[in-house]
Amino acid sequence: MPEPIFRAAPDGSLLIAPLDAFTAAYHRASGITHLLAEPAPQILAVLGEGASSLDALLARLGRDYDLDDGTREALAARLDELVDAGLVERA
Amino acid sequence: MKHAFSVRIGPVGFRIGSDWRAPIAALETLYRDYPQPHDGIPDFTVRLFARRPWRRFIRPSVEIGGDYMLPEAAPLPLRQGLLAAEMAMNLQMALGARRYLLLHASAVERDGRALLMTGISGAGKSTLATLLAAKGWRFMGDEFALLDPATGLIHAFPRLISLKNDAIAAAEAAWPDARMGPLLPATPKGDIRHMVPDARAIALMDMPATPALLLFPRYGFEAETRPVPPAEAFVRMTQASTNYVALGEAGFRALTGLIADVPSVAVDYPDGASAIDQVEALWSAL
């Protein structure tokens, strides 16, 4: 089975406002305001640079952040949540 | 409708029609120093009506309606007609306003900068605004602060101040010369008495102010202040706004801008005098 590719919502469909540990995100398509905790804003930022597989996303995040063991499963879970929220598409 | 009255409060024009003369007479007296809607055209229409024709005369009870209705709203007895009018005006604003982000907050102004106070009923929004106004702040409103998404400025909405229960005596002591409406005992919200904002609040109601401080007061606790993290303040204000969702992107931009620009502080206070000291200390530390 091919690796799923994750894609951020199209350019301009999200308004992002960092608050503190949380980031507010307004999703234009649904009119819903999301309150995101780390690492969701970072995931969205990286996917904003281009669609990515889970492993490629993990490697890309690893360049900017210290990642612990178990991160792959955690990242997959966070991606699922973002897909459920409509902020990320699974291609 | 048989009886009608128009008024402008801040930027918002109302027309209130009524099956009875009494509530209109009370509004005319209390709002006598207020202007008329711009160009004579109201933004919202409010109706106070009898559900059945005979209820105009027999145990008269006031239904409230207008551009927006709450079908389950219970009617009020005619002696509480003034309260019905006020509730109906608030309802039109809460559900219909699109020009401003409505913040369920009281507001006072000093040196062109606005202090906002939000919180649940009983937190002391109206009381604190009234007490601060008696100390020289300009009263901007006790129910809604209007945040303009285009400018980030707060516009005043100085409607009649709705004093409840203990706040009635506190406000009367602070403003002994204020004009007061009739005491409305045993309403669904307790005892209520309306107070006319002071002449300065009415004269300057078209002058907006730059928001400078957002407070979350709580009455009945030891005096204490603590900073509210921006994310918590943002979430609480989305809940304290009646039209945040309706405004969509404009509301998001306006509210995140407010939270980014203005410090948010929770204020626990045991009594009005203490609250004023706490507010003044926070204000001078800005």
> How close does chain B come to A14, measured CA to CA in Å?
10
pLDDT at residue A2 above 90?
no
Interface confidence, given as ipTM, is 0.87
The closest CB to that of A17, out of B235, B245, B256, belongs to B256
pLDDT digits (tens, 9 = 90+) for B49-59: 887 676 667 67
Q: Which of B256, B258, B261, B264 to mutate to test the interface with A (most CBs of A within 10 A)?
A: B256
User: In chain B, what are the domains?
Assistant: 3-96 (no CATH), 101-284 (3.40.50)
Which residues in chain B are closer than 8 Å to A20, comparing Cβ atoms? 229-231
Give B229's contacts in chain A (Cβ within 8 Å): 19-21
**Closest residue, chain B, to A37 (C-alpha):** B231
* Contact across the interface for A15 and B253, Cβ inside 8 Å: yes
B259 to chain A, closest Cα gap in Å: 8
Q: To probe the interface with B, which of A13, A15, A19, A23 has the most B CB atoms within 10 Å?
A: A19
- Facing residue for A22 by CB, picked from B231, B245, B252: B231
Best mutation target among A14, A26, A28, A30 (most B Cβ atoms within 10 Å) is: A26
Contact B231 A35 (CB under 8 A): yes
CB-closest option in A20, A21, A26 to B252: A26
Distance (Å, whole) CA B267 – CA B253: 26
What gap in Å lies between CA B283 and CA B286, rounded to an integer? Answer: 5
- Nearest by CB to B231, which of A20, A28, A31? A20
Average per-residue pLDDT for chain B = 91
Angle between helices B21-30 and B81-96 (to 10 degrees): 70
Q: What is the pLDDT of residues A19-68, one digit of tens each?
A: 999 999 999 989 999 999 988 999 999 998 889 999 999 988 888 887 77
Q: Which amino acid is at B36?
A: Q
A1 pLDDT band (50/70/90 cuts)? low
Can you give the residue ranges of every domain in chain A? Answer: 5-90
Q: Beta strand pairing status for B210-219 and B264-269?
A: parallel
**Residue B229: burial class (beta carbons within 10 Å; 0-12, 13-18, 19+):** middle
What is the tens place of the pLDDT at every residue in B68-87? 777 666 778 888 888 889 88
**Domain A5-90 - what CATH class?**
alpha beta
3-class secondary structure per residue, B115-139:
EEEECCCCCCHHHHHHHHHHCCCEE
- What are the tens digits of pLDDT across the range B7-41? 999 999 999 999 989 999 999 999 999 999 999 99
CB neighbourhood size of B75 (10 A):
17
Task: Give the pLDDT confidence of B110-169 residue by residue, as tens digits.
Answer: 999 999 999 877 778 889 999 999 999 999 999 999 999 999 999 999 999 999 888 899
- b/e burial code for range B169-204 (CB count within 10 A of at least 16 → b): ebbbebbeebebbeebeebeeeebbbbbbbeebbeb
Give pTM, 2 decimals. 0.91
Closest chain B residue by Cα to residue A17? B256
